[in-house]
Structure 1
Amino acid sequence: MINQLSWKIGGQQGEGVESTDRIFSTALNRLGYYLYGYRHFSSRIKGGHTNNKIRISTAPIRAISDDLDILVAFDQESIDLNAHELRSGGVIVADAKFKPAVPEGLNVQLFAVPITAIAEELGTSLYKNMVASGASWALLGLPLEVFNKAVEEEYGRKGAIVVEKNIEAVRRGSQFVLEQAGGPLSAFQLEPADGVQKLFMIGNDAMALGALTAGCRIMSAYPITPASEIMEYLIKQLPKFGGTVVQTEDEIAAATMAIGSNYAGVRAMTASAGPGLSLMMEAIGLAGMTETPLVIVDTQRGGPSTGLPTKQEQSDLNAMVYGTHGEIPKIVIAPSSIEDCFYDMIEAFNLAEKYQCPVIVMTDLQLSLGKQSCAVLDYDRIVIDRGRLVRDVPELETHGQFKRYEFTENGISPRVLPGEKGGLHHVTGVEHDEVGRPSESAINRQRMMDKRLGKLKSLEIRKAVVADAPYEEPDVLIIGMGSTGGTIDQARIKLEQEGWKTNHLTIRQIHPFPTAQVKRYTERAKQIIVLENNATGQLADQLKLNVDCRSKLTSMTKYDGTPFLPQEVYSKSKELVLNGNLQRVPQ
């Protein structure tokens, strides 16, 4: 028996690939397996090749696999584009309708199943995704009743007849392939899962749930890939808690509406991708100048312009850190797991109100849309911090105004909500004095700038960096952000097996940069690799700027729209270590 397996389904967009993957993975999750998914899809509603890949394991995983065990193909294109990933002895389950052909040189088994024909016998070709699912599920020797339960959950709202037809499609697909194969394939039998309950969700859903749990009650946003699922989740959930989602005419309106809502005292947010973030820049500056809390999620995708809207990239870092005109306090944090996506959203709202500034939560397409297993969330960890919010304003002198922007030792001024007795003050985007009145005084200007920029000197973020650093003087320190963490860990396993000493650092606080925390690890490393999905090495530049490590730093970039594979990281890391003429750890 094996402890992990990789499964992929491919076809044309709109052909049922997504629903097939969803039911297949849901059934596996019910059995207690750990899962990690990756979606490759086109930037259109229907048509164009799409595929979903799932890695299944009896142990926690946070990376896609280098190879593939089973490929389910609805067309020849899916075989042509994906069969090269199959390991020797792998399996292709394909629709016999298109007379599938295996590329030369591949040692794989082909099962040509009359997927469309069986579906049409049941009344419509729409059932073909369940025929294909049943066939591949059967080869694994897993219990059909678990899969059928997932089918019931997926199609139950459509009525008993639809459910029965889909279950019959699963049965017929299973029966056909088992007769062809002579039973389940022994080489693909998974060890039993641990049976421990796990959540299975995409990062966007986790962030939306985190926002809801944090007390967010307004989301203003404009739909955009790969952020739209946050909006879609909250459209369904916020009204249950007295909140609402407003679809604005553009991202400019989305950001300014969120600022207005936060000013009024309601926790509000917006979410977008790179193009939308560009439009929000002036509003982000307004939030910084008026010291109004603002939470923004940027789900990075391929750029610039429309770029690759459905592909992986991490190229917005510079825009998030430097994009606004002028200088304002700003916090940028980067979740690195599904659990982080949930907890970091709660922290983002707390930070925004504590420091009265914009907070940008930076994810990437793989983390936002890749469906993954995660531990059951611990709601006892949740703490709500609304910062220096004044409820009872001391009585002021006649005609006096509230010092909303009062000079304080830590730079954080008292904040009051509109309508609070004694809280009258002025709000403007121009430079202002302590009560908000416009001021062009040179002395006031400098004091206000120092006050605003000084707020983050006391910044406290949960896990600014996450380190797996067993060695005092590692041969190589691999640094990453966002979704790259699991891939790095997977690559390190091979390096460790060959005797190389490796440490791993994930940077979660992007700005202000956690120089002291990072320096503790970079100083001890002989070589440093910075891994990121962009062309110019933006995270590497942050290290060069903030940490004295330029002489031993190598930037490993990938910007073709696909995530790093563990083998790629392993090969490049090994190359660096060998070029450095470093010695292995004695075996």
Structure 2
Amino acid sequence: MISQLSWKVGGQQGEGIESTGEIFSIALNRLGYYLYGYRHFSSRIKGGHTNNKIRVSTTQVRSIADDLDILVAFDQETIDFNFHELRQGGIVIADAKFNPTIPDESRATLYAVPFTDIATELGTALMKNMVAVGASSAVLGLDISVYEGVVQEIFGRKGEQVVAKNMEAIRAGAQFMREQLGDNIQLMQLDKADGKKRMFMIGNDAIALGALAGGARFMAAYPITPASEIMEYLIKKLPQFGGTVIQTEDEIAACTMAIGANYAGVRTLTASAGPGLSLMMEAIGLAGITETPIVIVDTQRGGPSTGLPTKQEQSDLMAMIYGTHGEIPKVVMAPSTVQEAFYDMVEAFNIAEEYQCPVIVLTDLQLSLGKQTVEPLEYDKIEIRRGKLVTGELPEIPDKGCFKRYEVTEDGVSPRVLPGMKNGIHHVTGVEHDETGRPSEVAANRIAQMDKRLRKLKHIQFPTPVHKHVKHEEADLLIVGFNSTRGAIEEAMERLERDGIKVNHAHVRLIHPFPTEEMLPLVQSAKKVVVVENNATGQLANILKMNVGHAEKVFNVLKYDGNPFLPHEVYTKCKELF
């Protein structure tokens, strides 16, 4: 019996690879196992190699596994592309139809299972992925009955006969595999899970659910990988709460429409990826100077331009902080887990309204599309804060006067009213303006308004700006990261500790304004600092140096080939420093 393993299914895009992994993992989730899944897919709609790697454990996991225990292959390319990941003693379960071969029989055992033939005999070759699920379950020692509820939910709308046939395919695959395993039937059987109910969701779903729980009732967006699932989720859910989603003609329209809705008092978001955020930059500047709340999600992917639209990267940091022309206050947040993505979205709407500025929630493809086990969410923790939004009666203003919407205040935040409020009339313009919103180019006014807006950043309150894993008052090494690198860093940290290296870990969750007070003592108390990030220029490391200093002890661990970090990669690079 084993407590953890890594399973991968691969084949051509469009032949059911995603659904194979989905059915397999949902069933394991319902048994109480912790899961972490990551899909490798091409930017084509159909064709090209794709795979889904799922880590299964009796304890919490937050990263892809270094190696692979079981590879399920629907074509030879899957074996050729992924065989190197298999650990010694691994298993390849391949469709016998393509006469599979493996490059090293001493490393792994090949089991040729007639996925297609079994499925065809049962009615249609399309069920070959169900045969593969059954074969995998036999290796893990799983009771086939665990799939009944999952198959019913997925195929029930097609009729009971379809449900029955798919279950029959799973049973047939399991039976064939048990016969093939023979005396090795307990080779990779999993320890029993705790049976507790937990959610299993991608980061984009958590972001969408967090927006809904945080009071958002409108989304304007244009589809783009890897952000589209946020819009797709809310298209289904928002109407149930009196809200709606509009698919705009482009990202410029999406951002400006979201600004208009927020100005009207509706909590509104938009979501995109790097290319879309580039188009939004002028509008984000408009939100900054008009002090209109807006929440924008940036799901980072490989760039520049179209770049690697379906691959992992973390190269938008500098653009999100400094991308707009001119200087405006903005907040850039970076959740590191699916659970944090949910709670951070709620907080993003609160901060946007409290400080009347753009808030960018920064994720990456691994976090946005990777699927993780999530503990039950605590909805009673949700708090809606609307800042200085005036809801009562306003005092009368002098004849021909206007409400001081941009009043200079000590904390930089002015009173805000909704359109149509009696005595709340004011100007709104993208040019510099006075306290009532009237255009003004007076030097003293410009300084007063600019200082007022930027003062907001000094008062930003964020619950946990840095996730700290501090084990030592004085560390040999401090590892710093953001977004989805957290799991790989945590595992590397454990291995380095076993080697006798004292390691602390800081995961930055508030990118801007940078949490200097929290980071400075951690950097000062470490002999060396390693910043782990998926980009080529060390953007987070440069931000750290700008805000904290100690550049002489900061080292980069960079990866920008489109793939996420594996724990051993972080471990190896850190170990090289000692």
TM-score when scaled to structure 2?
A: 0.99
Name the residue aligned to 1:57. Answer: 57
Tell me the alpha carbon deviations over residues 313-353 of structure 1, each in whole angstroms, 9 at most, x when there is no partner.
00000100000000000000000011110000000000000
Task: Report if aligned partners of 1:476, 1:528 keep a CA contact under 8 Å in 2.
Answer: yes
CA distance in 2, matches of 1:293, 1:197: 37
Q: 1:408: which partner in 2? A: 409
| Aligned residue in 1 for 2:288 | 288
Report the CA distance between 1:183 and its aligned residue.
Answer: 6.2
- Following the alignment from structure 1 to structure 2, what is the Cα–Cα distance between the partners of residues 121 and 495? 53
Residue in 2 aligned with 1:370? 370
State the AA in 1 paired with 2:521: R
- Give the equivalent residue in structure 2 for 1:310: 310
Q: Distance in 1 between matches of 2:112 and 2:422?
A: 76
- Residue 191 of structure 1 deviates from its aligned partner by 0.9
Q: Distance in 2 between matches of 1:183 and 1:73?
A: 23
Partner secondary structure for residue 187 of structure 2: helix
Q: Which residue of 2 aligns with 1:502?
A: 503
Equivalent pair of 2:224/2:273 in contact (CA under 8 Å): yes
Q: Distance in 2 between matches of 1:60 and 1:111?
A: 30
Contact 1:527 1:552 in 2 (8 A): yes
Distance 2:343 2:80 in 1: 41
Whole-angstrom distance in 1 between the partners of 2:183 and 2:387: 63
Alpha-carbon separation, structure 1, partners of 2:214 and 2:57: 32
* Equivalent in the alignment of 2:573: 572
Q: Which amino acid aligns with 1:131?
A: V
Query: 1:240 corresponds to which residue?
Result: 240
Counterpart in the other structure of 2:426 = 425
Distance in 1 of aligned mates of 2:183 and 2:434 = 79
Q: 1:122, CA displacement in angstroms?
A: 1.4
| Aligned equivalents of 2:457, 2:520: Cα separation in 1 | 19
Q: Is the 8 A contact 1:204 1:369 kept in 2?
A: yes
Pair 1:159-2:142 in alignment: no
Code of the aligned partner of 1:268:
T
Three-state SS of the structure 2 residue aligned to 1:393 is coil
Equivalent residue, structure 2, for 1:581: none
Partner of 1:396: 397
**Alignment partner, residue 331 of structure 1:** 331
DSSP 3-state at the match of 1:414: coil
Tell me by how many angstroms 1:184 deviates.
Answer: 6.3
Deviations 1:69-124 (A, max 9, x none): 00000000000000111111110110000000011365211110111011111121
Q: Which runs of 5+ in 1 are unaligned?
A: 579-587
User: Cα gap change, 1:106/1:425 in structure 2, threshold over 3 Å: closer, same or farther?
Assistant: farther
| Separation in 2, partners of 1:100, 1:337 | 38
Deviations, residues 13-70 of structure 1 (Å, cap 9, x unaligned): 0000000100000000010000000110010111000000000000011011000000
C-alpha change, 1:219 and 1:183, in structure 2 (3 Å) is farther
- 1:112-149 deviation line (CA, Å, top 9, x unaligned): 01110111111211000000110011111111100222
Q: Does the aligned pair in 2 maintain the 1:96–1:115 contact within 8 Å?
A: yes
Query: How far has the Cα of 1:556 moved from its partner?
Result: 0.7
Shift of 1:398: 2.3
Distance 2:24 2:264 in 1: 45
User: Which amino acid letter does the alignment assign opposite residue 537 of structure 1?
Assistant: G
Q: What secondary structure is seen at the aligned counterpart in 2 of 1:475?
A: strand
CA distance in 1 between partners of 2:56 and 2:206 (Å):
21
SS in 2 for 1:146: helix
CA contact (8 A) 1:2 1:187 kept: no
Given that 2:210 and 2:342 are in contact with CA atoms closer than 8 Å, whether structure 1 keeps it comes out as yes
Shift of the 574–105 alpha-carbon distance from structure 1 to 2, 3 Å rule, reads farther
Per-residue deviation at 1:397?
Answer: 2.2
Q: Is the 1:140–1:184 contact (alpha carbons within 8 Å) kept by the matching residues of 2?
A: no
Counterpart-to-counterpart distance in 2, 1:185 and 1:548? 57
Match of 2:481 in 1: 480
Alignment of 1:438 with 2:439, yes or no, is yes
Provide the residue aligned with 1:273 in structure 2: 273
| Residue identity matched to 2:118 | I
1:150 CA displacement:
1.4
Secondary structure at the residue paired with 2:475? Answer: coil
Deviates more, 1:547-556 or 1:26-35: 547-556
Deviation of 1:420 after TM superposition, in Å, equals 0.7
CA deviations on 1:349-379 (whole Å, 9 max, x unpaired) are 0000000000000000000000000110001
Task: Give how far 1:199 is off.
Answer: 0.7
For 1:543 and 1:163, how far apart are their aligned partners in 2? 54
Letter in 2 for 1:233: Y
SS where residue 164 of structure 2 aligns?
helix
For residue 192 of structure 1, what is the amino acid of its counterpart? K
Q: Is the 8 A contact 1:138 1:184 kept in 2?
A: no
Task: Show the 5 A alignment for 1:27-426.
Answer: 27-104=27-104, 106-182=106-182, 185-391=185-391, 392-426=393-427
Q: What SS does structure 2 have at the residue aligned with 1:451?
A: helix
Q: Distance in 1 between matches of 2:530 and 2:185?
A: 41
Q: In structure 2, what residue type is equivalent to 1:60?
A: Q
Q: Normalising by the residue count of structure 1, what TM-score does the alignment of the two structures yield?
A: 0.97
CA distance in 1, matches of 2:166, 2:144: 13
Cα deviation for residue 394 of structure 1 reads: 1.6
**Paired letter, 1:556:** V
In the alignment, structure 2 segments of 5+ residues that lack a partner are none
Residue identity in the other structure for 1:15: E
Cα distance in 2, alignment partners of residues 481 and 97 from structure 1: 44
Aligned mates of 2:510, 2:538 — CA distance in 1 = 17
Distance 1:442 1:365 in 2: 44
Please give the secondary structure, in 2, of the residue aligned with 1:526: strand
Q: Percent identity?
A: 67
Moved more, 249-258 or 153-162: 153-162
Partner of 1:528: 529
CA RMSD of aligned residues (A): 0.8
**Separation of aligned partners in 2, 1:99 and 1:360:** 50
Residue 515 (structure 2) aligns with? 514
> Within 2, Cα distance between the matches of 1:467 and 1:291?
33
In the alignment, which residue of structure 2 is the partner of 1:582? none
Worse-superposed segment, 261-270 or 491-500 = 491-500
Distance 1:130 1:273, change over 3 A: same
Which residue identity lines up with residue 251 of structure 2 in the other structure? E
CA contact (8 A) 2:139 2:187 kept: no
Give distance in 2, aligned partners of 1:531 and 1:106: 35
Per-residue deviation, residues 533-582 of structure 1 (Å, max 9, x unmatched) = 00000000001101122011101110000000100011111111x2xxxx
The whole-number CA distance in structure 1 between the counterparts of 2:489 and 2:99 is 40
Distance 1:135 1:223, change over 3 A: same
Look up the SS of the partner of 1:403 in the other structure.
Answer: coil
